[in-house]
Amino acid sequence: MEFLNLAPLVLALPFAMFLIIGLFGYKMCPKFAGILGTSVFALTSIVCYGIAIQYFVANYGMEYPKEVLFNFDWLHITENLVISIGFLLDPISATMLIVISTVSLMVHIYSLGYMHGEDGFQRYYAVLSLFSFAMLGLVVATNIFQMYIFWELVGVSSFLLISFYFKKPSAVRAAKKAFIVTRFADMFFLIGILIISYYTQTFDFGILTEVIDGQVPIVHETMGGITLGGLSVISIAVFLIFLGGAGKSAMFPFHIWLPDAMEGPTPASALIHAATMVVAGVYLVARLFPVYSFEAPEVLEVIAYIGAFTSIFSAIIACAQTDIKRVLAFSTISQIAYMMVALGVSGFGGEEGLGYTASMWHLFTHAMFKALLFMGAGAIIHAVHSNEMDAMGNLRKKLPITHATFLIACLAIAGIPPFSGFFSKDEIIVAAFEANKWVFAVEYIVAGLTAFYMFRLYFRIFWFGEPDNGFEHEPHEAPSTMTIPLIVLAAITVITGICWAFGILQFSQFVSSDSLGYAIETHWSIALLSIMAGLIGICVAYFLYFKKTGRPNTVVSYIKRPYLWAYNRFYIDEIYLFITNNIIFKRICEPIAWFDRHIIDGFMNLLAWFTNSASEGTKEVQDGNVQSYAWVYIMGVIVITLVSILNYL
């Protein structure tokens, strides 16, 4: 069966589900809507797998081509600038197809159990379908504008899912924040697109990223040498595009929306805010990687620094959070920053492009184990009805499956072999080591911190000791719809790691910066170092949180101030709040509104008042009293007579 011909289904099926469940869902029984959505998405996943596998099998060992499966014009803007909707298949989009369909399918299944009995169950599935549609459309975009279109759509489905519990003010606030912050970043993305399209007169990725002789001809020829205020236009444009990606991928300083986004239902967080949507920024940079690499290497360097800073910044914050979903959220930010760093330090072609491969590989593995972590957290929250660590402890016997899978995911993210996270993270650290020692040092520390905060979470939830007030009611393991996805994802995490370890189906054979497969040797000297960092982190966590002791508090009392800063997320949210409330609203919007009502409109009212009072002033003359008219008349006659007489004389 030729799966490539079925490509339109990948977009059509989820969209159709969105329409059907969205329009008629309220008439369906919730369970039916959920199962319908899930089974149709399962079909979509099969098609996605089929496409990806056929693509990789057909081209294994050769240069992977960029195949456009279909492409139709959606809107003509000018003769050259045409927005089309199409399907571009290349190694990274095929990888993303696998990631999205796997995680999304797992989330569809998981939600059947987790969301059971919620108000708006159908609405949830409709939006989930919309999100899957948008995310699939984003990764297969043939042109940068198609990407922008779906970019906005994933943003809006994220908004709708965060505000799922719309009666909760905090959820509404979080949804607004997420949408507006990412929208702000999208504006830069749009401006970047405008600049690029102005010079190159094309949106098409195939043309924009074509590499010939170590340069990207279309960009080089049309934009090379043009500067604006001392900066090259290419750098400005691609940096603006990166800012768009930074918004979606929650890079500093746009990271503030992601932790709050945890107000949404947990499976949605797993899908959108951990595995797929938040890596869109990484994907965007990877998509345009040749442009960055050849035409704007200085921007890549900036990306590496921003990534490094974000990763350590959010790792520190993650160590001090007590809400388990927030810990995971900050960990997500930190891990995505890892991917950004990998792109930032990467070169182009073969071993040089190790960072690129590592970034995509980490994207893949992270999606699996982070979705697993979130779903595990969902199962825990489901069991104890709270997000706070204080309500948990000693759950390992009560939630055995959750415990086992959670542990696997923690080991993976902490970088312990043979789990998948170890290999991907290790390659990133190797790439950083070869390119930039400072970035390497930061990433190395972050690896230790990651292990620490993840195991802090793990020990705190599953060991430590029962909460002081006991549980509200006895925690019990989640239903099988929830545990099966956990097991599947855990299996993927283990299997992909083992595959890599034994050198079978190495990821670098599939994804590389120049589309040519190559083999990676594990650099054990650096790998051992990073395993050590991970182990140290785990040991510290063990020392502090394995049993219920006063140790954590003692440590905190030594570093009281830094702890408070980290706990309060370095007050970045407060700064944002200050800027929006006190500067934008109080200093810009309100004065403008006042100006409009009082000055501009006041001027119009002044004109009206002037006309009015002029007529008030003159109307006394026309008082309707015939006697005064006669008086004026007679006087007039007399004056005229006198004047004519004098004239005559």
Partner 1 sequence: MNILSLFVIIPLIMMAIIFCIKGENKSLIRVVMSVGGLALLAVSAYLTINYLKLRSGGDDSEFLFTNTPLMWFESLNIHYAVGVDGISVAMLLLSSIIVITGVFVSYAIEDKVKEYFLWFLMLSIGVFGFFISLDLFTMFLFYEVALIPMYLLIGLWGSGKKEYSAMKLTLMLMGGSAFLMVGILGIYYNSTPDGALRTFNIQEISQNVAALANSGADMSWQNIFFPLTFIGFGVLGAMFPFHTWSPDGHASAPTAVSMLHAGVLMKLGGYGCFRVAMYLMPQAASELSWIFIILTGISVVYGAFSACVQTDLKYINAYSSVSHCGLVLFALLMMNKAAMTGAILQMVSHGLMTALFFALIGMIYGRTHTRDIREMGGLMKVMPVLCVCYVIAGLASLGLPGLSGFVAEMTIFVGAFQHPDLFHRIFVILGCSSIVITAVYILRVVGKILFGPMQDPHHETLTDAVWYEKVAVFSLIFAIAAIGLCPLWLSDMISEGIENIVKIF
Partner 2 sequence: MSLPLECYLVVSTLLFFIGVFGFIVRKNLISILMSIELILNAASINFIAFNRFLFPDQLEGFMYSLFIIVVAAAETAVAISIIINVYRKKKNIDVKSINELKY
Enumerate binding residues for partner 1 (CB under 8 A): 73-78, 81, 83, 145, 149-150, 152-153, 156, 159, 163, 166-169, 171-173, 175-176, 179-180, 183-184, 186-187, 190-191, 193-195, 197-198, 584-585, 588-590, 592-593, 596, 600-601, 603-604, 608
How many CB atoms are located within 10 Å of the residue 246 CB?
Answer: 29
**By the 8 A CB rule, do 291 and 219 touch?**
yes
Q: Which of partner 2, partner 1, none does residue 585 bind (CB under 5 to 8 Å by kind)?
A: partner 1
**By the 8 A CB rule, do 112 and 478 touch?**
no
DSSP states of 104-170 as a string?
HHHHHHHHHHHTTT-TTHHHHHHHHHHHHHHHHHHHT-SBHHHHHHHHHHHHHHHHHHHTTSTTSHH
The candidate with the shortest Cα–Cα distance to 505, out of 198, 56, 55, is 56
Count of residues in the chain: 649
**By the 8 A CB rule, do 216 and 294 touch?**
yes
DSSP states of 245-292 as a string?
HHHHTT-TTSTTHHHHGGGS-HHHHHIIIIISGGGHHHHHHHHTHHII
Q: Find the shortest distance in angstroms from Cβ 620 to partner 2.
A: 12
Q: Which of partner 1, partner 2, none does residue 169 bind (CB under 5 to 8 Å by kind)?
A: partner 1
**By the 8 A CB rule, do 431 and 342 touch?**
yes
User: Residue 75 or 630: which CB sits closer to partner 1?
Assistant: 75
Spell out the alpha helix ranges (H) of 415-479: 420-435, 437-462
CA distances to 508, 618, 626, 632, 633 from 621, rounded to whole Å, are 97, 6, 11, 10, 13
Cβ burial, residue 594 (10 Å; 0-12/13-18/19+)? exposed
Q: Find the shortest distance in angstroms from Cβ 580 to partner 2.
A: 57
Q: Find the shortest distance in angstroms from Cβ 181 to partner 1.
A: 10
Q: Find the shortest distance in angstroms from Cβ 183 to partner 1.
A: 5
User: Residue 2 or 616: which CB sits closer to partner 2?
Assistant: 616
The pattern of x and - marking residues 579 through 618 that bind partner 2 according to CB under 8 A reads ----------------------------------------
SS3 string, 62-77, reads: CECCCEEEEEEEEEEC
User: Residue 622 or 647: which CB sits closer to partner 2?
Assistant: 622
Q: Which of partner 1, partner 2, none does residue 76 bind (CB under 5 to 8 Å by kind)?
A: partner 1
Q: Which of partner 1, partner 2, none does residue 66 bind (CB under 5 to 8 Å by kind)?
A: none
DSSP states of 198-263 as a string?
HHH---BHHHHT--BTTB-HHHHHHHTT-EETTEEHHHHHHHHHHHHHHHHTT-TTSTTHHHHGGG
User: Residue 616 or 623: which CB sits closer to partner 2?
Assistant: 623
Which 8-state DSSP code applies to residue 586? I
Q: Find the shortest distance in angstroms from Cβ 609 to partner 1.
A: 12
Q: Which of partner 2, partner 1, none does residue 624 bind (CB under 5 to 8 Å by kind)?
A: partner 2
Q: Find the shortest distance in angstroms from Cβ 634 to partner 2.
A: 6
The pattern of x and - marking residues 616 through 645 that bind partner 2 according to CB under 8 A reads -------xxx-xx-xx--x-----------
Q: Which of partner 1, partner 2, none does residue 487 bind (CB under 5 to 8 Å by kind)?
A: none
User: Residue 553 or 627: which CB sits closer to partner 2?
Assistant: 627
SS3 370: helix
Q: Which of partner 2, partner 1, none does residue 150 bind (CB under 5 to 8 Å by kind)?
A: partner 1
How many helices (H) and strands (E) in the chain? 27, 4
Range 301-340, binding partner 2 (CB under 8 A): none
Q: Which of partner 2, partner 1, none does residue 152 bind (CB under 5 to 8 Å by kind)?
A: partner 1
Q: Which of partner 2, partner 1, none does residue 153 bind (CB under 5 to 8 Å by kind)?
A: partner 1
User: Residue 160 or 375: which CB sits closer to partner 1?
Assistant: 160
- The token duo for 164 is 């799922």
User: Residue 230 or 624: which CB sits closer to partner 2?
Assistant: 624
CA distances to 92, 109, 302, 489 from 365, rounded to whole Å, are 14, 20, 25, 10
78 binds partner 2, rule: CB under 8 A: no
User: Residue 156 or 536: which CB sits closer to partner 1?
Assistant: 156
User: Residue 184 or 309: which CB sits closer to partner 1?
Assistant: 184
Q: Find the shortest distance in angstroms from Cβ 224 to partner 1.
A: 19
User: Residue 29 or 589: which CB sits closer to partner 1?
Assistant: 589
Which 8-state DSSP code applies to residue 294? I
Q: How far apart are CA 140 and CA 334, in angstroms?
A: 26
Please tell me the count of residues contacting partner 2 according to CB under 8 A: 8
Q: Find the shortest distance in angstroms from Cβ 623 to partner 2.
A: 8
Q: Find the shortest distance in angstroms from Cβ 139 to partner 1.
A: 16
Q: Which of partner 1, partner 2, none does residue 571 bind (CB under 5 to 8 Å by kind)?
A: none
User: Residue 179 or 507: which CB sits closer to partner 1?
Assistant: 179
Q: In this structure, which amino acid lies at residue 132?
A: S
CA distances to 324, 363, 376 from 369, rounded to whole Å, are 16, 10, 10
User: Residue 474 or 623: which CB sits closer to partner 2?
Assistant: 623
How are the residues of the chain apportioned to helix, strand and coil, as percentages rounded to the nearest 5? 75, 5, 20
Q: How far apart are CA 356 and CA 341, in angstroms?
A: 10
Q: Which parts of this chain interact with partner 2 (CB under 8 A)?
A: 623-625, 627-628, 630-631, 634
